[in-house]
């Protein structure tokens, strides 16, 4: 069944929304000619994205009609990893999958089935709808979706109960902005003009990032910290606030708990000690702290760069606690900006089954889960909205697991990804231009309905269609379950809070709460039991290996001294769109580090540690700090000379809070290849 059934006339424009894993949720105007997408541009429905979009999604037609697009169901005919498949019918493909699932459940129990997904199609319809109903009813293993935002999520929840945060439109009111671990020029581009407007009005901009990002070039103070040292830097600012008379004691007394415990943990971190650990200048750290403490409104934009290491949870907590200690709330443009996905207060009442008490597998330990032959082994892996072969830590372990002949792997995808090459059965999925979705911005506070723009290519089908049919074949369908994508969409709309559902149905977008511009501690309050910020949640202190706000030192050794990071780029949304042609990928290295190794621009290099190696070429730039090197996030295996990406050098160790991935803890050496 096609997702869109209308007949598409000659050239016309269709309004929809981008649901990809990006904070902005752009409203789109798509030009269609003779049933084919010819251009994608921004529309003005979302006032924040206001008519322009990123270069990534402008290229989406190349994915829609490209050579890598999956058009038909197929089964494997050659070795795993070699992408040799033969076309089959949907009937055969779904019949085989149902048979293998039933057999695995009968012999090994439901937990031998592992659904594996993340934000590849980030809308509310394409994840945690019929897929969740199916896997819950099956009694499958549950997946902890922790590859991104788990430590920041745990921190925000522990401190403020995920209170709504400052809106983009209020950024220009800020007189000081601290951009911490975020590079909106690459992801979430619509924040950039608001920050620049604040600067035009006189705001001080502090950027904390190991790289001289585009906004760092325009910053008043740039602190190029060593990866993983954000925690001592944030604690040094706390120490300054508490011990030099800049803490807002009236606010702390009235609206927080745990300030004294935080103060104790911050006390050892003088500017000098934190600066030495972070490899920055202590005077500049003091200047940044003074600029933040003395300004009002003052805003912290907390990103995700600081969470991707062993200290990521505590670092995110310490950063997010700063506005409470400094008393920056209660004024428009002041406070913090984090993920705003919880602002709408949506639960998912449309999932047709309660969550079973089955085992939970952390997605950052997929390799281990696939290798571990015990209790019970994973026998069926169902991957959708995800490209685990390149996006999850410890790549070799994952690839080895995917090669297991006694593992039955289904990959339900839009294009032939590196993960799909290992599938036993490949199912073609629709893109957001071929079906319905509901896109919720997690930076911009927006909720919009996405509609099919063109008919599905080939035999691609929606998640709702496929998971619904699998439920039927597995005997798991219940009366009242929606059938197919259209019914699923109507079901979800009917179960959203009434005004939101009707707004989406009637207008295509919903009116945001607090007019989309909540003021923290004025319009919105911590969603904690006593409406106070909890600066030292005891349960998180117990959960954290070294204790909350306790620094775990840099894992560098003399053998592997360089920190390898993999930040988001302007080419891909995670690994989505990485199949499109791009200029050659290079390892970015500081000229000083290159000279010390006898490397020149363009040299072929091997980047290695005890886990493995990557072959690439090097490009030199002073815009990365010495001791840190960088390859872009979201690379596919085709982008390096030996088919391994940064995750080949990343262990599956977890962050101190939230079970996140320690991508930036890879310590490596580089030499001429
Ligand atoms: S990826 Fe982000 S910036 Fe690009 S079109 Fe989608 S929402 Fe907009």
SS3 assignment, position 543: helix
Query: Which three-class secondary structure string do you get for 41-83?
Result: EECCCCCCCCCCCCHHHHCHHHHHCCCCECCCCEEECCCCCCC
**Residue nearest atom 3 in ligand 1 by C-alpha distance:** 54
Which value, to the nearest 10 degrees, does the dihedral of the CA atoms of residues 346, 348, 350, 352 take?
-170
For residue 473, the surrounding DSSP H or E stretch is helix 463-473
CA 172 to chain centre: 26
- Ligand 1 and 322: CB distance under 6 A: no
By the 8 A CB rule, do 297 and 328 touch? yes
Backbone angles phi, psi at 356, to 5 degrees: -80, 165
**Residue nearest atom 5 in ligand 1 by C-alpha distance:** 53
Q: Is the pLDDT of residue 291 over 60?
A: yes
SS3 assignment, position 204: strand
From 46, 53, 568, mutation site for ligand 1 pocket: most ligand atoms within 8 A of C-beta = 53
Ligand 1 atom nearest 190 alpha carbon: 3
For residue 101, the surrounding DSSP H or E stretch is helix 90-108
pLDDT in tens, 173-194: 999 999 999 999 998 999 999 9
Ligand 1 atom nearest 18 alpha carbon: 6
pLDDT in tens, 257-278: 999 999 999 999 999 999 999 9
Report CA(172)–ligand 1 centroid distance (Å).
21
Report CA(54)–ligand 1 centroid distance (Å).
6
pLDDT in tens, 409-433: 999 999 999 999 999 999 999 999 9
From 30, 56, 194, 341, mutation site for ligand 1 pocket: most ligand atoms within 8 A of C-beta = 56
Please say whether the dihedral angle defined by the alpha carbons of residues 470, 472, 473 and 474, taken in this order, is positive or negative: positive
pLDDT recorded at residue 339: 87
Q: Is the pLDDT of residue 536 over 50?
A: yes
pLDDT in tens, 586-631: 999 999 999 999 999 999 999 999 999 999 999 999 999 999 999 9
pLDDT recorded at residue 353: 96
- Ligand 1 and 26: CB distance under 6 A: yes
pLDDT recorded at residue 6: 47
**What is the spatial distance between Cα 463 and Cα 521, in angstroms, rounded to a whole number?**
40
Return the closest-CA partner of residue 93 out of 81, 75, 77, 105. 75
pLDDT in tens, 644-658: 999 999 999 999 999
**Confidence band (pLDDT; 50, 70, 90) for 9?**
low
Q: What six digits make up the tokens of 652?
A: 């599956």
Phi-psi region of 204 (alpha: psi -120 to 50; beta: other; left: phi over 0): beta
Return the closest-CA partner of residue 365 out of 100, 608, 635, 150. 150
Report CA(67)–ligand 1 centroid distance (Å).
23
pLDDT recorded at residue 373: 73
**Residues 6+ away with beta carbon under 8 Å from 446:** 25, 46, 48, 439, 440, 509, 512, 516
DSSP 331-381: STT-EEE---GGGG----TT-SSPPP---EEEGGGHHHHHH---SSPP-EE
By the 8 A CB rule, do 627 and 122 touch? no
pTM confidence score: 0.96
Length reported for the chain: 673
Q: What six digits make up the tokens of 318?
A: 């310490």
**What is the spatial distance between Cα 284 and Cα 204, in angstroms, rounded to a whole number?**
13
- Ligand 1 and 24: CB distance under 6 A: yes
pLDDT in tens, 463-473: 999 999 999 99
Can you count the helices (H) and strands (E) in the chain? 21, 26
Measured at the alpha carbon of residue 241, what is the angle toward residues 236 and 233, in degrees to the nearest 5? 20
Ligand 1 atom nearest 22 alpha carbon: 2
Ligand 1 atom nearest 40 alpha carbon: 5
- Ligand 1 and 430: CB distance under 6 A: no
Q: Which burial class, exposed, middle or buried, applies to 629 when counting CB atoms under 10 A from its CB (0-12, 13-18, 19+)?
A: buried
pLDDT in tens, 576-585: 999 999 999 9
Q: Is the pLDDT of residue 504 over 70?
A: yes
From 19, 21, 24, 63, mutation site for ligand 1 pocket: most ligand atoms within 8 A of C-beta = 24
Ligand 1 atom nearest 54 alpha carbon: 4
Q: How many CB atoms lie within 10 A of CB 404?
A: 18
Q: What six digits make up the tokens of 496?
A: 């959203």
**Residue nearest atom 7 in ligand 1 by C-alpha distance:** 25
**Residue nearest atom 4 in ligand 1 by C-alpha distance:** 54
Q: 249-270: b or e for each residue (b if 16 or more CB lie within 10 Å)?
A: eebbeebbbbbebbbebbeebb
What does the mean pLDDT of the chain come to? Answer: 95
Mean pLDDT on 138-159: 95
Return the closest-CA partner of residue 266 out of 292, 299, 289, 294. 289
Q: What six digits make up the tokens of 654?
A: 């977890």
Return the closest-CA partner of residue 423 out of 120, 70, 74, 108. 74
**What is the spatial distance between Cα 184 and Cα 177, in angstroms, rounded to a whole number?**
13
Report CA(26)–ligand 1 centroid distance (Å).
5
Q: How many CB atoms lie within 10 A of CB 347?
A: 9
SS3 assignment, position 396: helix
């Amino acid at each position: 069944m096609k997702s869109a059934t209308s007949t598409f006339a000659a050239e016309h424009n269709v309004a929809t929304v981008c649901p990809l894993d990006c904070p902005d949720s752009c409203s789109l105007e798509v030009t269609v000619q003779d049933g084919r997408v010819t251009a994608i541009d921004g529309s003005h429905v979302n006032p924040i994205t206001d008519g322009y979009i990123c270069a990534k999604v402008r290229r989406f037609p190349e994915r829609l009609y490209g050579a890598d697009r999956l058009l038909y169901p197929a089964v494997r005919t050659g070795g795993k990893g070699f992408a040799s498949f033969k076309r089959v019918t949907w009937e055969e493909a779904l019949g085989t999958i149902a048979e293998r699932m039933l057999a695995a459940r009968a012999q090994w129990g439901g937990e031998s089935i592992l659904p594996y997904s993340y934000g590849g199609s980030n809308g509310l319809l394409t994840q945690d709808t019929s897929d969740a109903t199916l896997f819950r009813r099956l009694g499958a293993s549950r997946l902890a979706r922790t590859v991104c935002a788990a430590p920041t999520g745990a921190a925000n929840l522990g401190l403020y109960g995920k209170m709504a945060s400052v809106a983009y439109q209020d950024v220009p009111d800020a007189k000081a902005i601290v951009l911490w671990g975020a590079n909106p020029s690459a992801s979430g581009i619509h924040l950039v003009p608001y920050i620049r407007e604040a600067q035009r009005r006189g705001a001080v901009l502090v950027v904390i990032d190991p790289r001289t990002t585009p906004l760092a070039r325009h910053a008043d103070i740039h602190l190029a910290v060593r990866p993983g040292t954000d925690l001592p830097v944030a604690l040094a600012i706390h120490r300054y606030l508490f011990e030099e008379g800049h803490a807002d004691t009236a606010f702390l007394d009235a609206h927080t708990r745990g300030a004294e415990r935080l103060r104790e943990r911050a006390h050892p971190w003088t500017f000098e000690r934190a600066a030495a650990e972070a490899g920055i200048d202590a005077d500049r750290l003091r200047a940044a702290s003074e600029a933040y403490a003395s300004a009002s409104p003052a805003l912290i934009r907390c990103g995700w760069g600081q969470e991707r290491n062993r200290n990521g949870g505590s670092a995110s907590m310490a950063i997010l606690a700063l506005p409470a200690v400094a008393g920056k709330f209660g004024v428009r443009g002041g406070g913090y900006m984090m993920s705003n996905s919880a602002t709408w207060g949506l639960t998912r009442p449309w999932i047709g089954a309660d969550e079973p008490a089955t085992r939970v597998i952390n997605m950052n330990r997929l390799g281990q889960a696939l290798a571990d032959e015990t209790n019970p082994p994973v026998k069926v892996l169902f991957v959708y909205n995800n490209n685990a072969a390149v996006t999850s830590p410890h790549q070799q372990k994952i690839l080895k697991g995917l090669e297991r002949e006694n593992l039955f792997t289904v990959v339900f995808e839009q294009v032939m990804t590196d993960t799909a090459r290992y599938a036993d059965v490949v199912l073609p999925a629709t893109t957001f231009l071929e079906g319905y979705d509901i896109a919720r911005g997690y930076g911009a506070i927006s909720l919009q309905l996405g509609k099919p723009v063109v008919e599905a290519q080939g035999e691609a089908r929606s998640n709702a269609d496929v998971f619904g049919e699998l439920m039927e074949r597995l005997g798991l369908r219940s009366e009242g379950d929606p059938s197919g994508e259209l019914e699923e969409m109507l079901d979800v709309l009917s179960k959203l809070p009434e005004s939101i559902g009707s707004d989406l149905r009637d207008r295509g977008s919903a009116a945001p709460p607090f007019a989309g511009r909540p003021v923290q501690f004025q319009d919105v309050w911590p969603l904690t039991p006593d409406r106070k910020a909890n600066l030292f949640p005891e349960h998180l202190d117990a959960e954290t290996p070294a204790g909350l706000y306790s620094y775990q030192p840099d894992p560098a050794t003399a053998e592997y001294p360089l920190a390898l990071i993999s930040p988001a780029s302007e080419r891909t949304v995670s690994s989505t769109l990485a199949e499109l042609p791009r200029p050659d990928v290079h390892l970015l290295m500081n000229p000083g580090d290159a000279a010390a190794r006898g490397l020149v621009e363009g040299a072929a290099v091997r980047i290695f540690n005890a886990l493995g190696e990557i072959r690439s070429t090097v490009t030199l730039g002073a815009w990365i700090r010495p001791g840190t090197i960088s390859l872009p996030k979201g690379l596919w295996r085709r982008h390096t000379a030996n088919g391994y990406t940064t995750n080949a050098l990343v262990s599956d160790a977890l962050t101190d809070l939230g079970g996140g991935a320690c991508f930036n803890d890879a310590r490596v050496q580089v030499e001429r290849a």
